[in-house]
Chains A and B, each alone.
Chain A
Amino acid sequence: MTAPPEPPDLRAAFRERGYVAGDALATALRLVVALGKPLLLEGPAGVGKTEAAKTLAAALGTRLIRLQCYEGLDAQSALYEWNYARQLLHLRATEAGGRPVTDADLYGPEFLMQRPLLEAIRQPTPPVLLIDEVDRADDAFEAFMLELLAEWQVTVPELGTLTATARPHVLLTSNRARELSDALRRRCLYLWVDYPSRAEELEIVRARLPGIDAALAGQVTRAVHALRELPLGKPPGVAETLDWAAALVALHRDWLDAEALELTLGAVLKLREDQLLARPVLEKLARP
């Protein structure tokens, strides 16, 4: 085998930007860059899937183009639209001038409204394309994306086939709201992103909130991990851990006592039932 090209040290670049990437994520992201294949990130909400794409864009010094998926999203909204109102005005103006209208008058670039997918493949340098929460889109949209992810080209009937000038680095995220098709999975690299270990989460808190008291950071991560052991309706993600720690810092707390807990519980547990269930555990942890 030939000597591999020197891969970018993404892990260090992520660390500089306050994102503590685990081994598996760092390797998978490196493969996204090296192989040019999309990466499907699955895992519970709030473990940093979307943030990984943002940080990758920052680390590579390129643009982040985001397509937020939702039920009913269609190819038109994701790819391109024609500015009909402007076309109509142009049509009337041209007719009033007595000049015959041609296709070229109506389907020029000034009337083309690029949506995220078209924008991503027309960038001169490879952007990071984030297709967020792809599980929320319909099966039909997922099928439409297959061609794009495999061939990196799209067809606009009036303009012809447009091929990517620079292949984007694509990250797809899913919270498993529905099962994605095998066809989509086969075209992607895959990584399940789980909650971080306690040591990793402590590192994340200290990286994102450099000014936080070490004891408080340790107490918060310990409490969050105890909460994740409970049968909560909405277990806290890393985002909630950071919110909670930030809330405590903002209130100038350096220890998680009963009063601080009372003031900030809403930052970490977002369901009333969960708060009731977790209170005894948290009070035990908050006891001096």
Chain B
Amino acid sequence: MTADLPSRVSALCAHLRSAHGFRLGPGETAAALAALEAVNLGRRREVRDALRAVLTASREEGRVFDAAFDTLFRQGEAPAPPQLPPLLPQTQAPLPPPPPAPASQTGDGGPPRPTAAGRAIAGEEDDAAPTPTRPDPEREATGDPDTSAPLLHARRSPNAGAGGGVTTPEDDLTGMLRAAGALVRAVELGRGRRLVPRPVGSRLDARRTLRSAARTAGDPARLRWLGRPQRAPRFLLVLDGSRSMGEHAARLLRFAHALHLRSRRVEVYAFSTDLTRLTPHLRRAVPGAALTLPDLGGAWGGGTRIGDNLLRLAREERSRVTRDTVVLILSDGLDTGEPDTLTRALRDLRARAGLLVWLSPLASLPGYQPVQRAVAAALPLLDAFLPAASLRDLHALPGRLRQQKRPAAGD
């Protein structure tokens, strides 16, 4: 009854790999099959939990896995679950051929139907009802991943923000990389607390000195030192993708990508009415090619709710914001939310982050006054409020940051 289970699992692995960019090779497929030997195949939920544990490596992948599993191991005539947008949009690899289906089901051209093994898992379980997955605010919107994503600057409709992919045009990546590299080098957060071996330092490294003394018959001929290294910054970018940002959002997204290429310690989030994490997409994007992101739902092209989303970020990603973190908010500050909420979020971020900087495309306009409610509420809490409307502004960031930043904690 479960004769084609290995082929089903292989098909699932191939689909996750080709359509969503999961890093699954033969080793993972073999481990998945080995895992199935350790669980009760009559219990569908157990099979799903086991395969999820083996085949996924993050929470985001878990959500995609659940949808793919429910499609492939669907019960009886249960309706097909909604298809999630791919995690890896730029992958053009073809989907794996459908697993062999019974003769009665071939040629219907419809969605994959459960085969014998699928039914073995789906039909014989004692806990037949599939567990409803939690509503996922980041992925509520569903879109057709096959439709070509419209250009960002074309997304002006009143319904924008309710779904759709994002494609930024190719532009001066070299210039962006130069600006990003300069920013990484320019940030100084002072020295860390930990002591590490250094050629010259403030404290004698007794352990290493004694160890090296073994070569000179116990005489410490060469002293070893410990010192405190410069704290390496982490970056947390929060990009306003609302309609009012227009083409600036695309440019700043490219800048975020460039920063991500220059440092592995970069986290990128986008928000509009909702908030979503872009880092996994940027990690998989091909450097030099146009940056294409899947459906960002309410996180792109809609209205602006800075405070609510920053508060959510401060709450959900609290552990990511430390005194080594540089928080960059990239927004024009045209907010429809309450300034009090924004103030609360920024106060929280400021207390935890090493540096809190707001980059605004509007700030480069001649005669600009920071009178928008959100910006006015934020200004007292920021280390720097700087323009970011063009590549020139981005190149000038390191210099402007040095002039404006507050003394970092621990300096």
User: Does B54 make an interface contact (CB < 8 A)?
Assistant: yes
If A39-B53, A178-B320, A234-B318 touch, whether A2 touches B46 (CB-CB below 8 Å) is no
Chain B contact-residue range equals 35 or more
**Total A-B Cβ pairs within 8 A:** 111
User: Does B218 make an interface contact (CB < 8 A)?
Assistant: yes
Contact across chains for B38 and A24 when beta carbons are under 8 A apart: no
**B56, B134, B318 interface centre (most CB from chain A within 10 Å):** B318
Contact across chains for B315 and A31 when beta carbons are under 8 A apart: no
Contact partner of B37 (CB less than 8 A), chosen from A4, A23, A72, is A4
Overall SS of chain B's interface: helix
Chain B residues in 8 Å Cβ range of A192 = 58-59, 62
Chain B residues in 8 Å Cβ range of A108 = none
Chain B residues in 8 Å Cβ range of A176 = 317, 319-320
User: Does B34 make an interface contact (CB < 8 A)?
Assistant: yes
Contact across chains for A35 and B34 when beta carbons are under 8 A apart: yes
Q: How many residues of A contact B (CB 8 A)?
A: 46
User: Does B215 make an interface contact (CB < 8 A)?
Assistant: no
Contact across chains for A34 and B59 when beta carbons are under 8 A apart: no
Contact residues, B24-38 vs A (CB, 8 A): 28, 31, 34-38
CA gap between A249 and B165 in the complex, in Å: 53
Contact across chains for B265 and A24 when beta carbons are under 8 A apart: no
Contact across chains for A177 and B319 when beta carbons are under 8 A apart: yes
- Closest Cβ of chain A to B139, distance in Å, is 15
User: Does A182 make an interface contact (CB < 8 A)?
Assistant: yes
Contact partner of A31 (CB less than 8 A), chosen from B53, B207, B267, B322, is B53
User: Does A61 make an interface contact (CB < 8 A)?
Assistant: no
User: Does B281 make an interface contact (CB < 8 A)?
Assistant: no
What residue in chain B is nearest A88 (Cβ atoms)?
B210
User: Does B39 make an interface contact (CB < 8 A)?
Assistant: yes
CA gap between A17 and B195 in the complex, in Å: 41
Contact across chains for A31 and B50 when beta carbons are under 8 A apart: yes
User: Does A71 make an interface contact (CB < 8 A)?
Assistant: yes
User: Does B312 make an interface contact (CB < 8 A)?
Assistant: yes
Contact across chains for A34 and B218 when beta carbons are under 8 A apart: no
Chain A residues in 8 Å Cβ range of B23 = 182, 186
CA gap between A235 and B315 in the complex, in Å: 8
Contact across chains for B53 and A1 when beta carbons are under 8 A apart: no
Chain B residues in 8 Å Cβ range of A190 = 52-53, 56-58, 61-62
CA gap between A40 and B318 in the complex, in Å: 20
CA gap between A15 and B196 in the complex, in Å: 45
CA gap between A39 and B231 in the complex, in Å: 31
Contact across chains for B38 and A35 when beta carbons are under 8 A apart: yes
CA gap between A192 and B73 in the complex, in Å: 22
Contact residues, A173-229 vs B (CB, 8 A): 175-179, 182, 185-186, 188-192, 194
What residue in chain A is nearest B231 (Cβ atoms)?
A71
Chain A residues in 8 Å Cβ range of B45 = 23
User: Does A79 make an interface contact (CB < 8 A)?
Assistant: no
What residue in chain B is nearest A193 (Cβ atoms)?
B59
CA gap between A185 and B62 in the complex, in Å: 13
Contact across chains for A37 and B31 when beta carbons are under 8 A apart: yes
Contact across chains for A28 and B319 when beta carbons are under 8 A apart: no
- Closest Cβ of chain A to B345, distance in Å, is 9
CA gap between A23 and B126 in the complex, in Å: 14
- Closest Cβ of chain B to A150, distance in Å, is 11
If A31-B50, A35-B31 touch, whether A233 touches B318 (CB-CB below 8 Å) is yes
Contact partner of A1 (CB less than 8 A), chosen from B2, B211, B264, is B2
What residue in chain A is nearest B209 (Cβ atoms)?
A84
Contact across chains for B315 and A27 when beta carbons are under 8 A apart: no
B residues sitting closer than 8 Å to A (CB atoms) are: 2, 23, 28, 31, 34-39, 45-46, 49-50, 52-54, 56-59, 61-62, 134, 192, 194-196, 206-207, 210-211, 214, 218, 234, 264-265, 267, 279, 308, 311-312, 314-315, 317-320, 322, 344, 348
Q: What are 9 sample pairs from A and B whose C-beta atoms fall under 8 A apart?
A: A1-B37, A4-B37, A30-B38, A30-B39, A139-B264, A175-B319, A179-B267, A182-B23, A191-B53
Other A-B pairs beyond A27-B39, A71-B192, 15, CB < 8 Å? A23-B49, A24-B49, A27-B50, A28-B53, A31-B38, A34-B34, A72-B195, A177-B322, A178-B320, A190-B53, A192-B62, A194-B134, A231-B312, A232-B315, A233-B315
